[in-house]
Amino acid sequence: MRSSRQKWAFSLIVAAVAVPLAVVSVAFACGRLATLFVGPQRVAPGAEVSGFGRNYTAAPTASTVDIHFNRRSGPVLWSGRPAPSGEIRPSFAVPTGVKAGYYTLMATQTTSTGAPSAGTPGRARIFIGTASQKRAIDSSAGVWASPSVGGGSGGGTGQTVPADVGVLAALLSAGLLAGGVALLRDDRRRRGPGALAS
């Protein structure tokens, strides 16, 4: 029967393996999010913007990528097929007759069954209005007024896990593994040869 020290040691070793696997799975999931970036990020009503996006599906059974204004079912400002690499490079005019403020652009795509393609929609935020209107809105709303520009299924940037998170996970994993091995060695030394065979 295993001692409590052995149980702790094996738990630490299992955790040491689980930590990097969790980080890799999160990095893979984040890496597949559809992204959308547009510029300029402040435009007058009716002005042209251009954009760039990644991680859309180029499969012939998938739909075109449609960029909607301010919601999934909003007016379509641009529609096109992604390149074989999954990239899009849209160019379109923003609507006229809208109130000055921040708006969301949503790049949607569906599979042959009509379900959203994995990782979509990509999202980007723009400000429509003059520079003085933007300053007035930003100053009245404070830090919440300037949403990040980018995109991703969850509204983030679609970037992978930062390098420093990977380094910390590796250090944590190494520490857990070292702790588990140290506990096993100490337990073996205390109980004598053949202690692990029980």
Looking at residue 142, its pLDDT comes to: 62
**pLDDT at position 9:** 67
Beta strands in 71-154 (DSSP E): 76-80, 91-93, 101-108, 122-128
- pLDDT attached to residue 7: 72
**Cβ proximity of 9 and 183 under 8 Å:** yes
* pLDDT for the residue numbered 178: 78
Question: What is the three-class DSSP state of 189?
Answer: helix
Q: Which residues of the chain have pLDDT under 70?
A: 1-3, 5-6, 9, 12, 16, 19-31, 142-168, 192-198
Strand 91-93 vs strand 76-80: parallel, antiparallel, or unpaired? unpaired
Q: Indicate whether this model's pTM tops 0.75.
A: no
pLDDT for residue 194: 54
- pLDDT at position 116 is 94
Q: What is the pLDDT of residue 173?
A: 75
Identify whether the C-beta of residue 1 lies closer than 8 Å to the C-beta of residue 87.
no
15 and 181 Cβ atoms separated by less than 8 Å: no
pLDDT the model gives residue 24: 56
What is the C-alpha separation between 180 and 95, in angstroms, rounded? 61
User: Which of 117, 106, 121, 115 lies closest to 57, judged by CA?
Assistant: 117
Beta pairing class for 122-128 and 101-108? antiparallel
pLDDT for residue 157: 37
Phi/psi at 135 (5° precision): -60, -40
Torsion angle defined by CA atoms of residues 145, 96, 98 and 43, in that order, rounded to the nearest 10 degrees: 10
User: For 32-154, where are the alpha helices, taking DSSP H only?
Assistant: 131-141
CA distance 95 to 75: 9
